[in-house]
Amino acid sequence: MRKLVVLGASLLALGLGWDASAQSTIKIGVLMPLTGNAASAGNSSKIAVELGAEIVNNAHPELAPLPLAATAGLPGLGGAKIELVIADHQGNPSVGQSQTLRLITQEQVIAITGSYHSSVTLTTSATAERYGIPFVNGESVAANLTERGFKTFFRVTPLASDFAKNYMDFMADLGKAGHPVKTLALVFENTEYGTSVADTVRTYAKERGLNLVSDIAYSANTTDVSSQVLQLKDKKPDAVIFISYTSDAILYVKTMKALDYLPPVMIADNAGFSDHSFITSSASLAQGLMNRSAWSIGKPGSVTYKVNEMFKAKTGRDLDDPSGRAMQGFLVLAEALNRAGSTKPDAILKALSETNLGPDQVMMGYKGVKFDAKGQNTLAATYLIQMSGNKYVAVWPEKSAEKPIEWPYKGWK
Partner 1 sequence: MVIVQVITGGLLLGAVYALFSSGLTLIWGMMNVVNFAHGDFVMIGMYVAFLIYTYLNGGPIEFVLASAVVLFVLGVWSYTGLVRHVMSGTLLSQMLATFGLALVLRYATFWIFSSNFRSLPEDLIGGTLNLGGILISMPKLVAGVVAIALTLGLHGLLTRTAIGSQLLAVSEDRNAAMLMGIRPDRMQALAWGLAGAGTGIAGALIATFYYISPSVGETLALVAFVVVALGGFGSVPGALIAGLLIGVIQELSAYLLGPVYKDVVVYALFVAVLWIRPQGLFGKF
Q: Could you say whether residue 7 binds partner 1 (CB under 8 A)?
A: no
Of 67-106, binders to partner 1 (CB under 8 A) are: none
Give the pairing type, strands 111-114 and 391-396: unpaired
Site string for partner 1, 304-333 (x = CB under 8 A): ------------------------------
Report the alpha-carbon angle 398-402-403, nearest 5: 85
Spatial separation of the C-alpha atoms in residues 121 and 139, rounded to whole Å? 10
Q: How many residues bind partner 1 (CB under 8 A)?
A: 43
Q: Do 205 and 148 contact (CB within 8 A), yes or no?
A: no
- C-beta closer to partner 1: residue 91 or 134: 91
Among 30, 40, 352, 385, binds partner 1 (CB under 8 A): 40
Site string for partner 1, 256-285 (x = CB under 8 A): -xxxx--------------xxxx-xxx--x
- C-beta closer to partner 1: residue 143 or 216: 216
- C-beta closer to partner 1: residue 217 or 394: 217
Region binding partner 1 by CB under 8 A among candidate stretches 110-118, 177-185, 246-254, 320-328? 246-254
Q: Could you say whether residue 287 binds partner 1 (CB under 8 A)?
A: no
Q: Among positive and negative, which fits the CA dihedral 292, 41, 360, 372?
A: positive
Spatial separation of the C-alpha atoms in residues 179 and 22, rounded to whole Å? 61
- C-beta closer to partner 1: residue 148 or 391: 391
Spatial separation of the C-alpha atoms in residues 370 and 359, rounded to whole Å? 11
Spatial separation of the C-alpha atoms in residues 126 and 137, rounded to whole Å? 12
- C-beta closer to partner 1: residue 43 or 296: 43
Of 134-173, binders to partner 1 (CB under 8 A) are: none
- Among the listed residues 91, 70, 83, 40, the one whose alpha carbon sits nearest the alpha carbon of residue 273: 40
User: Which element (helix H / strand E) includes 235?
Assistant: helix 226-235
Q: What is the 3-state secondary structure (H, E, C) of 137-149?
A: ECCCCCHHHHCCC
- C-beta closer to partner 1: residue 197 or 380: 197
Spatial separation of the C-alpha atoms in residues 272 and 248, rounded to whole Å? 8
Q: Could you say whether residue 251 binds partner 1 (CB under 8 A)?
A: yes
Q: Could you say whether residue 35 binds partner 1 (CB under 8 A)?
A: yes
Report the alpha-carbon angle 223-229-230, nearest 5: 115
- C-beta closer to partner 1: residue 248 or 269: 248
Q: Could you say whether residue 42 binds partner 1 (CB under 8 A)?
A: yes
Of 203-242, binders to partner 1 (CB under 8 A) are: 216-219, 221-228, 230-231, 233-234
Spatial separation of the C-alpha atoms in residues 129 and 18, rounded to whole Å? 27
Question: What residue ranges bind partner 1 (CB under 8 A)?
Answer: 34-37, 39-40, 42-43, 190, 216-219, 221-228, 230-231, 233-234, 246-247, 250-251, 254, 257-260, 275-278, 280-282, 285, 412
